[in-house]
Amino acid sequence: MTHQDPQLAHEMSPDDWDEMNFPRPETQGFDAVVEAAISRRGFMGGTLAFGSGAAVMGTSMLSGEAAMAGQADRFAFDQLPIQTDGTVHVPEGYTWDVLVRWGDPLFSDAPAFDAEMGVPTEGSDRVFGENTDGMELFNVGGHELLVVNSEYVNAKYNLAHTEDGMPTSADDVLRLQNFQGVSVMEVTEGDNGWEVVIDSPFNRRIHHNTPMTIDGPAAGHDLLKTEADPTGTASLGTFNNCGSGRTPWGTYLTCEENFNGYFGTTAELALGDTHTMGFKRYGVKTDIDTGRYNYHGFDARFDISKNPNEPHRAGYIVEIDPAKPDSTPVKHTALGRFKHENAAYALAPDGRVVVYMGDDERGEFMYKWLSTDKYVPGGDTSTLLSKGQLYVAKFNDDMSGEWMALTPAATGMDEAEIAIFSRMAASAVGATTMDRPEWIAVNPTAVEGYCCLTNNRNRGVKPNAGGDETPANGPNPREVNNFGQIVRWRPSGDNHASNTFEWDLYVMAGNPNTQEGLYKGSSNINAGNMFNSPDGMQFDTTGIMWIQTDGNDKNEGDFAGMGNNQMLAGDPVTGEIRRFLTGPKGSEVTGLTWSTDRRTMFVGIQHPGRPFPDGEGSLPRSAIVAVKRVDNALVG
């Protein structure tokens, strides 16, 4: 099979599509092997030191054992066993119900969903988008507004009239463009449970053609100018909206991840070095073929032979004000351009705004934003995501770490170049290559952050796309890491604005039944709560961490005993982890938020592999489910 096989292209996740189209060169240099061995020894030493220093740090992986030895736990449910079927399961005492699924109307003039054909192009921007991902709920004047990302499309479901899901016309492309982006919708709970308020004045679809404003250091730069926008400050659309974030001033942050897959070329290219290097590092295809969606075959904006700067206008954090349906979303270039997973905010004691962010690609980096100005409730917030400093993480094997400022002096790049080519800036300062940083979450009850490092089969095997070697290192201690782990850091002085931190691993996923050594997982993993590939993550108000997975759900081999993708609860203090929810076979569980009264949790089910939730005879439909306790008690 080759990457030209469109059928295959549409069955793959954006991550897998990327990896197939941009395989990293193998390295077998002796130096790299030695370096890996040294790093590994350093980690083991660090682990031992950490175990004996548990009293100092307060918690550790070892404390998971204490929890399992019989201490009372903070979970209000019994562990759900693994599941392998085509539906959602929750523990006894809880219920779930579908809130909304791909193609459900947001407006009364939306076309009806056809069980076999889906939604036609006309009106495809009036329905809930496909492949639900990150989401946040805002209460605006008593209205519950759910803001949700639609990450990508399963084109063969959306374009059921085509043989292989590849667009055959501009109309097909427009339909795909409309099903992605962001949905803002009012939701309400009545006698029939939660439902969308159709025609609410807050309802809105933001998609691949919605006007955006670009701000920050890259705004107006030559690399962002196009024929349609000679100012370089007004682009169309937000792309591959993966994880989410929110600000204390009531706005939603949507995070552009695998934006590269929407661009291609219809002609041989004659690009300068800057474009060539950038496309290579970010995975924009430069050979002539249909690519992932063949937008470029029918929409010249995505044809880099005609618009080589258009990809520079994607890959950012985008801010949306759900309270103002007519507002223009803002792309904040100051927070860097990479494959943004999510955006987790924290406030420094002095009121400056911190945003932690991961770049989800094998061997890429973790970042932090620190605003110059302070957040004052009710005050001016216009500079808080445009004026400040971007940092990248360096983890040391002695369990210390530092945030390295991406400044012109440190990188040899100017401010605009750092914003547009943040990956190169981070490589220039020697940032730590990570095992695909997915969601980051900040604990509301302790000054600490967590990042899901989902997996990395290239760890110790291949460098990243920038040529940075990726030997096993402190927070990424396993070569060919198919299980993933969650790293935790505590900023010095209990201050998220600090340049230094201490770190440990909250959990290493693994299989204690079939694996040896580090691949068995850390001590808080057992035969009952096994999982792989942690991805989504949110804290509830009580300080329980909810972990969602996007991994191998074959339930065999290395992954035997793990079942379908799932959501687990983690106690940051004891280390205990317990399975709470399982998704249908083939799905990823991603996106989590709560109703304002905290009696409902909304959970996203992306790309179900079976005809969920409507059953046989219908297309599989990604959906958001509302999970409640039977006694209507608080769920977070």
Residues of this chain that bind Ca ion (CB under 5 A)? 438, 535, 550, 588
- Taking the least distance from each CB to ligand FEO, the nearer of 151 and 553 is 151
In whole angstroms, give the CA distance from residue 252 to residue 40: 40
- Are the C-beta atoms of residues 138 and 200 closer than 8 Å to each other? no
- Are the C-beta atoms of residues 615 and 563 closer than 8 Å to each other? no
- Taking the least distance from each CB to ligand FEO, the nearer of 257 and 319 is 257
User: Which one of 242, 343, 530, 569 is in contact with ligand FEO (CB under 6 A)?
Assistant: 242
Q: Which residue has the tokens 């998220």?
A: 496
CB of 283 to ligand FEO, least distance (A): 13
- Taking the least distance from each CB to ligand FEO, the nearer of 438 and 502 is 438
CB of 550 to Ca ion, least distance (A): 4
- Taking the least distance from each CB to ligand FEO, the nearer of 242 and 562 is 242
In whole angstroms, give the CA distance from residue 574 to residue 530: 17
User: Which one of 18, 215, 360, 415 is in contact with ligand FEO (CB under 6 A)?
Assistant: 360
Nearest CA among 388, 316, 329, 377 for reference residue 354: 388
Among ligand FEO, Ca ion, none, residue 502 binds (CB under 5-8 Å by kind): none
- Taking the least distance from each CB to ligand FEO, the nearer of 403 and 439 is 439
CB of 147 to ligand FEO, least distance (A): 17
Instruction: Indicate the length of the chain as a whole number.
Output: 636
- Taking the least distance from each CB to ligand FEO, the nearer of 538 and 595 is 538
In whole angstroms, give the CA distance from residue 377 to residue 379: 5
In whole angstroms, give the CA distance from residue 364 to residue 22: 14
According to the binding rule CB under 6 A, does residue 397 interact with ligand FEO? Answer: no
Residue 350 neighbours by CB distance under 10 Å: 9
Nearest CA among 73, 95, 91 for reference residue 82: 91
CB of 160 to ligand FEO, least distance (A): 24
- Taking the least distance from each CB to ligand FEO, the nearer of 314 and 413 is 314
Question: Which H helix or E strand runs over 606?
Answer: strand 600-606
Among Ca ion, ligand FEO, none, residue 215 binds (CB under 5-8 Å by kind): none
According to the binding rule CB under 6 A, does residue 479 interact with ligand FEO? Answer: no
Among ligand FEO, Ca ion, none, residue 571 binds (CB under 5-8 Å by kind): none
In whole angstroms, give the CA distance from residue 535 to residue 517: 23
According to the binding rule CB under 6 A, does residue 257 interact with ligand FEO? Answer: yes
Among Ca ion, ligand FEO, none, residue 576 binds (CB under 5-8 Å by kind): none
According to the binding rule CB under 6 A, does residue 151 interact with ligand FEO? Answer: yes
Within 8 A by CB and 6+ apart from 297, the residues are 167, 173, 264, 266, 290
According to the binding rule CB under 6 A, does residue 502 interact with ligand FEO? Answer: no
Among Ca ion, ligand FEO, none, residue 257 binds (CB under 5-8 Å by kind): ligand FEO
Site for ligand FEO in 340-359 (CB under 6 A): 341
251-261 as b/e, with b when 16 or more CB fall inside 10 Å?
bbbbbbbbbbb
Within 8 A by CB and 6+ apart from 211, the residues are 234, 235, 236, 328
CB of 447 to ligand FEO, least distance (A): 26
Among Ca ion, ligand FEO, none, residue 186 binds (CB under 5-8 Å by kind): none
For the record, the structure tokens of 342 come out as 């999510």
For binding to ligand FEO (CB under 6 A), which residues are involved? Answer: 151, 242, 257, 341, 360, 438
